[in-house]
Structure 1
């Protein structure tokens, strides 16, 4: 038998190149302004300035989401490009955590490398901006990787168990739904381990470590209204739990989840016939529990975290690893050999070609002319590119977006109207002369203007981090803002009018601004489609 192409050392090298290399790609690209990225910037900026969550601002989430971006703001400055750098490190952590999980459950080397490729292309590579629905999963994977290391025993068992508890709680303190599911999966693995080994030390240790970490994170903020802000389903928050929503989403949609589940059940049938043998095989049982647990989590997560619609795509790589491990055993395919590995890699690249083609498409779009809409003789041409008529006269395609001269927006392009509006705002006499002394209320997605202008934050335990009514702020805060606007406490108010979004910025405040302030400018918000407007109000 010839030596396999994928030796352990070569496999590690390939995996490292995939994880690190593709994570670095966004550093060399430019991007359109991302919807909702203002929230990543705002939380990271406040933390990097030394503000204390719940004392200086309120948020329905824990602050785990902003820890990494805040660190990168300290290192590289409060620029949007710094957020991309922070996500590079998060993607690297996620990639190596996934690899460690597969190693712990005994995935063959060839399948493991291919699964890492699936993970990178399907989940890590498309996520080049930090977002809480992504960060919560990365911290979970780090905790899961350390937990599986702890369950193997050895001298690093207890430090790994503490690390598992820390990252599992940090996942919960990044977002409650994903973090709560991460805790349940960890407890399921510990429960199996305890029953099989007839030893409860690891389960008790994990619960103890998790409790200590939770108390260390939560107790200092209890005096500052933590119980009001942190959303655990109590009023004025909405728990977002609906049995019908879960049933509808799973039975009507979720095609990939159901497809994987059917394949996994079929592949498990031979093992289930000898359940005692399967139960005694600790590595295989942990692999099954991890895979099924991730699929269940993805099914629930797509309902509780419904925007953007592909938050839960982390499950593809786990399902791939399990299915192809079993198929490889049944079909006796050695994916460590050169030809099967190369063939598998090409098929995976074809499967997830959409992840990298968008970068190639930017070049192709410039080289190839757009399809003709009329031909010689004046005949009307109808194709997949123009069979629908776009009646939105405000829409500005991203091909026409431009860059701002402000360093906070470096490498990020926006509609020309947005950039021109920012320039007019920066040129206002009040902005140029007062700057730091200005009292500004920024109800828009352009939160980096805070650093560009230099005005000071409003702080206090009742100041919301963001202004989505019913999500990031509530009627109590709305009433306070209405009073401040009526008293004309602000020198400048920036308001984003997004009529198709449910109080993304409270509509009632716009009515009060029309009454108590004068509107001096308006320009397009940096959205796609460009269906929102930023309005500038002054005393």
Structure 2
């Protein structure tokens, strides 16, 4: 397959496709625990799937770009939780191909390109089994940058140059319309590349055209939503929103943490010193200059992104593959070894897999423990690396759950997703309650929990309106105006059934003041644990006083 004198590029191309697609489809053969925040991915996609219009039927502090692909997959495969995994498979494939396209445009050595693709897949896309906007914003950015570099280096005909430039503007805007921070920085990277190219060639028409394309696309997308309160919902730092960017936090996290980013910067800066000393040669080599500009831009974005998108803490790891590609493209002896020796390619791939083994092992370990019957219980009479510290007395099954005891819920909407026993039993009680089964489609329901798929399972209609938030995190996605509206509705017994998730350690993830009103004006009829791990949460079920007897008398059909 690989010749003695060099690696045939056609086989490298095939290997890259195999890596990108092979790793992407692995989740299709797995079951998953209920994931934190997956409720939001599901509900946004579900509302679009139902034909609801953002900002008119529900509000959110960003664009709705993230939810479009999951909504399309709901149309194809049904609004099941596991459908989100299928959507992410598609996202991971196009993400890997876009990254590969960038390296092709920059004429990265095929062997280095292959290893860089493997780093990208194993360190970033494979890491994301579920769709999440902090990843989708980067995927749309990478696609946009891929089209921009195709415009600069692969398009010969004017027609294709314009098409690729327009597509770049489309995806870079869609990145911004997925999330403002990553999308805004993506735009700055693209503008810096085009500005350099304009200076270097003395022609600014493509920079101007890109700006025109971007503005036109933005207007076409945004203007139809202005009558529905878009200016209120979309967060650009205006009240009642807060700006997410703090210069101090950026400096603090960069200097106090960010070990990998600083390491890569050190290597890259050292590699660039000889090039800068020959400034004119470097400046007049567009691929080399843009490669450096892009890599440094991605690292700068990662520095800021880890502050503006701080949860989960690994949101910004997209930078590894870009830095790897640049660094290894500028190590002549390594490039020579990879080009001449098939064993070096294989050894390098094995080392990359070991470097990022923690990502895959986290999932594989579950299978290994089950297959080989490795005991989960610890014997504290024997001191080992697992038992040299005694367990924290404050730990409970809620705060430190044993996920091997989690089970599947009977409801088809949750197929392939396992959850705590208490959660599954509570969901089954709700769905099997005769009063709910008989009146499900007519019930007015407020569901302030992570179990948003209950809307499809029970059949109740989601509440709509320009003042209805997509999710309920106070100060992030809902504000005092919405909280007052909900308090008023609770006082008036507007809802027949209310589900509220109490998570005391999360600051108003579901507003505590609404829970207080529920205990004043509604009747608690059930409770069970939330589908979380590592943090206590309790889902409390309330009914209006008028429906108390109907619910309780039919609680055990």
TM over 0.5: yes
Aligned to 2:253: 249
Q: Deviations over 1:103-137 (max 9, x none)?
A: 11111000000000000000010101000000000
Aligned to 1:507: 512
Aligned to 2:555: none
Unaligned runs of 5+ in 1: none
Q: Quick one: structure 1 residues 374 and 124, their matched pair in 2 at CA, closer, same or farther if it must change by over 3 Å?
A: closer
Q: Does 1:192 align with 2:200?
A: no
Contact 1:79 1:409 in 2 (8 A): yes
User: RMSD of the TM alignment (CA)?
Assistant: 1.5
More divergent stretch after superposition (197-206 vs 478-487): 197-206
Q: Deviations over 1:187-207 (max 9, x none)?
A: 000001000010011101110
Q: Does 1:16 align with 2:20?
A: no
SS of the residue 2:441 aligns to: helix
**2: CA distance between counterparts of 1:104 and 1:491?**
58
By how many angstroms is 1:4 displaced?
A: 4.5
Aligned to 1:121: 122
**2: CA distance between counterparts of 1:142 and 1:389?**
47
The TM-score, its normalising length taken from structure 1, stands at 0.97
**2: CA distance between counterparts of 1:369 and 1:222?**
58
Contact 2:411 2:428 in 1 (8 A): no
Contact 2:446 2:495 in 1 (8 A): yes
Aligned to 1:305: 309
The TM-score, its normalising length taken from structure 2, stands at 0.94
Question: Match for 1:457 among 432, 438, 462?
Answer: 462
Q: Does 1:201 align with 2:205?
A: yes
By how many angstroms is 1:357 displaced?
A: 1.6
Aligned to 1:318: 322
Aligned to 1:339: 343
SS of the residue 1:441 aligns to: strand
Q: Does 1:282 align with 2:286?
A: yes
Contact 1:263 1:323 in 2 (8 A): yes
By how many angstroms is 1:383 displaced?
A: 3.2
Q: Does 1:445 align with 2:450?
A: yes
Q: Deviations over 1:308-333 (max 9, x none)?
A: 00000000000111111111357743
SS of the residue 1:537 aligns to: strand
**1: CA distance between counterparts of 2:21 and 2:441?**
40
By how many angstroms is 1:363 displaced?
A: 2.5
Q: Does 1:262 align with 2:266?
A: yes
Contact 2:271 2:330 in 1 (8 A): yes
Q: Deviations over 1:313-371 (max 9, x none)?
A: 00000011111111135774334630111111111111011122223212221215338
Q: Does 1:61 align with 2:59?
A: no
Aligned to 1:84: 85
More divergent stretch after superposition (338-347 vs 177-186): 338-347
SS of the residue 2:338 aligns to: coil
Q: Does 1:369 align with 2:369?
A: no
Q: Does 1:408 align with 2:413?
A: yes
Q: Quick one: structure 1 residues 137 and 374, their matched pair in 2 at CA, closer, same or farther if it must change by over 3 Å?
A: closer
By how many angstroms is 1:5 displaced?
A: 4.7
Q: Does 1:381 align with 2:383?
A: yes
SS of the residue 1:536 aligns to: strand
By how many angstroms is 1:384 displaced?
A: 3.2
By how many angstroms is 1:392 displaced?
A: 2.1
Contact 1:438 1:491 in 2 (8 A): yes
Contact 1:441 1:492 in 2 (8 A): yes
SS of the residue 1:306 aligns to: coil
Aligned to 2:101: 100
**2: CA distance between counterparts of 1:408 and 1:173?**
29
Aligned to 2:111: 110
**2: CA distance between counterparts of 1:520 and 1:5?**
71
Q: Deviations over 1:424-476 (max 9, x none)?
A: 11122321110100000000000000000000011111100000010110000
Contact 2:39 2:450 in 1 (8 A): yes
Aligned to 1:516: 521
SS of the residue 2:540 aligns to: strand
By how many angstroms is 1:535 displaced?
A: 0.3
SS of the residue 1:442 aligns to: strand
By how many angstroms is 1:477 displaced?
A: 0.2
By how many angstroms is 1:374 displaced?
A: 4.2
Contact 1:498 1:504 in 2 (8 A): yes
Aligned to 1:144: 145
Aligned to 1:399: 404
Q: Does 1:434 align with 2:435?
A: no
By how many angstroms is 1:92 displaced?
A: 0.6
Q: Does 1:178 align with 2:179?
A: no
Question: Match for 1:488 among 475, 493, 496?
Answer: 493
SS of the residue 1:333 aligns to: helix
**1: CA distance between counterparts of 2:403 and 2:515?**
28
By how many angstroms is 1:6 displaced?
A: 2.6
Question: Match for 1:525 among 502, 511, 530?
Answer: 530
Question: Match for 1:271 among 270, 275, 289?
Answer: 275
By how many angstroms is 1:414 displaced?
A: 0.2
Q: Deviations over 1:494-522 (max 9, x none)?
A: 00000000000000011100010000000
Q: Quick one: structure 1 residues 355 and 441, their matched pair in 2 at CA, closer, same or farther if it must change by over 3 Å?
A: same
By how many angstroms is 1:3 displaced?
A: 5.5
More divergent stretch after superposition (347-356 vs 362-371): 362-371
**2: CA distance between counterparts of 1:239 and 1:71?**
32
SS of the residue 1:436 aligns to: coil
Contact 2:523 2:543 in 1 (8 A): yes
Contact 1:147 1:160 in 2 (8 A): yes
Contact 1:109 1:336 in 2 (8 A): no
